[in-house]
Amino acid sequence: MIKYVLQMSSNYTNLNKNKSLTENTSNNNIKTTDVNILLNRVRLDKKKNFKKNIIVSLLLVSFICSIAIYLII
């Protein structure tokens, strides 16, 4: 009887370990996917901000040049 109880408890702990291992791997897959999505979003945001900064800079330079040309003439 004692052997049966010990064997049953060891089987139970093995099942718990296996279950926790599978849960950890599934959680890791989900987390890596979420991290990749977030990283892609950050990259896209950086590209958008860079393009906006270039456009604003070009507009500012053209405005200053047009004022300088107006004052010279």
Q: Give the residue carrying structure tokens 């958008």.
A: 48
Cα separation, 33 vs 27, in Å, equals 10
User: In tens digits, what is the pLDDT along the chain, a chain of 73 residues?
Assistant: 555 444 555 555 555 555 555 555 555 556 666 788 889 999 999 999 999 999 999 999 999 999 999 999 8
Which pLDDT score is estimated for 34?
A: 79
For the chain, the C-alpha Rg in angstroms (whole number) is: 31
pTM of model > 0.75: no
pLDDT score, position 5: 46
Distance CA 59, CA 64 (A): 9
